[in-house]
Chains A and B, each alone.
Chain A
Amino acid sequence: QVQLVQSGGGMKKPGASMKVSCEASGYTFTSYAISWVRQAPGQGLEWMGWISTSTSNTIYAQRFQGRVAMTADASTNTAYMELRSLRSDDTAVYYCARQVVLVATQEPYYIDFWGQGALVTVSS
């Protein structure tokens, strides 16, 4: 069955960096993209960016440009999301999510499966 197992959450100091990993199993890793979505406590869902697992092309939401980096390692079926210069308002659950793509063009469509989330708390 499809699984996205996340790790890397925890407590971080303001100004530090965080890196969350997302290990996929149960499907062909490069046949789907990975999006990263976060959810602040008690709040809604915010899309952060997307990576094609076959080409490693990325698109980041403008508000995270320059602070975020998404990578994917097809040899280990693992995607990574690094966020730098953390602030208190980066406190959130960070989800990786599998995204359906049109294989021929890598055009991304809807998210069809989510990881369990990784809680990152930014506090001094």
Chain B
Amino acid sequence: DFVMTQSPDSLALSLGERATISCKSSRNLLYSLNKKNFLAWYQQKPGQPPKLLIYWASTRDSGVPARFSGSGSGTDFTLTISNLQAEDVAVYYCQQYFATPWTFGQGTKVEIK
């Protein structure tokens, strides 16, 4: 199975700061034929289902604010939230869809300091 490891487990930042969340895969997520990384990022607010933020490692889903960006390739990925807003308080998960069983990182909780 692909093991997804996120760091840190939690972070607390001030409004307007930049949040950086790392996600490392135990195996390569870059598919050579289409040059795409099979990685997504989700945001989950308390009491709500997850919401898709980023797919193909760096493509923002429709309606997702531009302050959310994804980067990385292969086994190392990053979700960046620039200019942190109060409504960004949530748990963030990365997920690989390269091969079943599709697996998630353990989550990173983002709070406002």
B49 touching A114 by the CB < 8 A rule? yes
Interface size class of B (residues with CB under 8 A): 20 to 34
Cβ–Cβ < 8 Å partners of B107 in chain A: 44-45
Judge whether A110 and B104 touch: CB under 8 Å.
no
A116 touches B49 (CB 8 A): yes
Q: Does A108 contact B (CB under 8 A)?
A: yes
Query: For residues 54 through 81 of chain A, which have their beta carbon under 8 Å from a beta carbon of chain B?
Result: 59, 61-62
Q: How far is the CB of A63 from chain B (nearest CB, A)?
A: 8
Query: Given A115-B49, A116-B49, are A45 and B101 also a contact pair (CB < 8 Å)?
Result: no
- B104 touching A44, Cβ below 8 Å: yes
Q: Which residues of B contact A115 (CB under 8 A)?
A: 49
Residue with the greatest number of chain A CB neighbours at <10 A, chosen from B102, B103, B107: B102
Contact B50 A114 (CB under 8 A): yes
**Interchain nearest-CB distance for B103 vs A (Å):** 7
Q: Does B77 contact A (CB under 8 A)?
A: no
Interface Cβ pair total, 8 Å cutoff: 55
Q: Report the interface size class on chain A.
A: 20 to 34
With A44-B93, A45-B50: A112-B102 Cβ-Cβ less than 8 Å: no
**B49 lies within 8 A of A59 (CB):** no
Q: Name B38's contact: one of A44, A109, A113, A116 (CB within 8 Å).
A: A109
- Partner pick for A44 among B52, B97, B106, CB 8 A cutoff: B106
Least Cβ–Cβ distance between A3 and chain B, in angstroms:
12
15 contacts between A and B (CB under 8 A): A44-B93, A44-B106, A47-B100, A47-B104, A59-B100, A62-B101, A97-B49, A110-B38, A110-B55, A110-B56, A111-B40, A111-B52, A112-B52, A113-B52, A115-B49
Residues of A within 8 A of B (CB): 35, 44-47, 50, 59, 61-62, 95, 97, 100, 108-117
